[in-house]
Amino acid sequence: MLPGSYRAAGLVDDTALVRAMLDVEVAWARVLGTPVSLGSWVPALDPVEIEAAGNPVLPLVSALRAQVSGPVHTGLTSQDVLDTALMLLARGVLTQVSADLERVGSALARLADEHRASVMAGRTLTQFAVPITFGLKAARWLVGVLDALDELDDVSLPVQCGGAAGTLSKVAGDPIAAASAFAGHLGLVWPGLPWHTYRAPVTRLGDALVRACSALGVLAADVLTLGRPEIGEVREGAVAGRGGSSTMPHKRNPVLSVLVNSAALQAPQLGAQLHLCSARAVDERPDGAWHAEWPALRSLLELAVVAASQAAELVEGLEVHADVMARRAADAAGELLAEQGGGTDPAGYLGAAESFVDVVLKRWEGR
């Protein structure tokens, strides 16, 4: 079980997927001219039937046909339904992740502004370098969040509509008009042709989610380092019942940072799985590569939702100990002010730091 999975409740779980597939079938039925009124009905799919079919679509279609008089699913194939349903799930995920990244961004912008003059030790290759400000560090985190938001905004979510071999051969009338109407019913994009074996819509989505997790991972890893007891420059906010140890009662573990860092370490491999499946999407519909894609994509969708929510809570409650930062910078002045030609005044090492903060804050305000 993914720690924090409740934060993604109803977005990518089995029930959500079945509902999304049902929405796809209903939208297509309307394209076919079949009136559909299902109320709150959602079928419970038999796992044995799903295994027998190789995917969950056939059991869903069988259940739907027992409920509806008139043609349903005619002209579609299982991959059309499942791919499109996953795009519907992705839409909800992108909305949630973007909203939480906005929360992260707002909190980071506040920290960057408040601490634009809070001097701290800069570190390179784990060692003291020259003085920086915590405001600059927060601004750097914010740049990653801004880039992630931009990439998520650019993700396109297309319908899949091709029939058995990507030709829409069983669609009566104008098949392109039918596909466009299908996309319109669902609020998705008709990309101009089916993408059964062209998996860029999935890999692009995955890449954007991975990059979002990576941006949050940098933030979390920095917080973990700066929050070590022997450093103590930041600390996660205290929440009753969080961060305890099963054996050491004195501990208050930085759980949110640990979990966001964990997500950043898991996400790239899930993204790589999507690319591997894309490279093996052979023939007119793949023989296993497609089947290996859905669990990786659903895991990545859930991971991104949970990590973004945890990161928002982490940054909003982050305790910044500027006094500790200043004291450490003063104690390490001999090393921090040793850059050749740098002088002995910490302010002389800050250069354009405050200007950089302003540039990032201006970009944030312009969103």
Range with the lowest mean pLDDT among 42-46, 85-89, 276-280?
42-46
Q: Looking at residue 347, what is its pLDDT?
A: 79
Does residue 37 carry a catalytic annotation?
no
Per cent of the chain over pLDDT 90 is 86
Residues 311-322 have a mean pLDDT of: 98
pLDDT in tens, 209-218: 999 999 999 9
Report phi then psi at 265, rounded to 5: -80, -25
Residues 46-65 have a mean pLDDT of: 94
Does residue 245 carry a catalytic annotation?
yes
pLDDT in tens, 169-227: 988 889 999 999 999 999 999 999 999 999 999 999 999 999 999 999 999 999 999 99
- Catalytic option among 7, 285, 298, 328: 285
Q: Looking at residue 142, what is its pLDDT?
A: 98
- 362/292 Cα distance (integer angstroms): 43
Residues 153-161 have a mean pLDDT of: 98
Task: Note the helical H segments in the chain.
Answer: 14-32, 47-53, 57-65, 78-114, 134-153, 175-186, 200-226, 255-279, 289-316, 322-331, 333-336, 353-365
Domains of the chain: 77-159+194-365 (1.20.200.10)
pLDDT in tens, 245-262: 556 566 678 999 999 999
Q: Looking at residue 361, what is its pLDDT?
A: 96
Q: Please say if the pLDDT value at position 39 is more than 90.
A: no
Q: Looking at residue 50, what is its pLDDT?
A: 95
- Catalytic option among 156, 169, 245, 355: 245
Q: Which residue has the tokens 């090393």?
A: 335
Q: Looking at residue 340, what is its pLDDT?
A: 67
Q: Looking at residue 178, what is its pLDDT?
A: 96
pTM: 0.94
Q: Looking at residue 243, what is its pLDDT?
A: 56
Q: Looking at residue 173, what is its pLDDT?
A: 87
pLDDT in tens, 252-301: 789 999 999 999 999 999 999 999 999 999 998 999 999 999 999 999 99
Q: Looking at residue 63, what is its pLDDT?
A: 94
| Contacts of 45-48 spanning 24+ positions with Cβ under 8 A | 45/18
Q: Looking at residue 1, what is its pLDDT?
A: 84
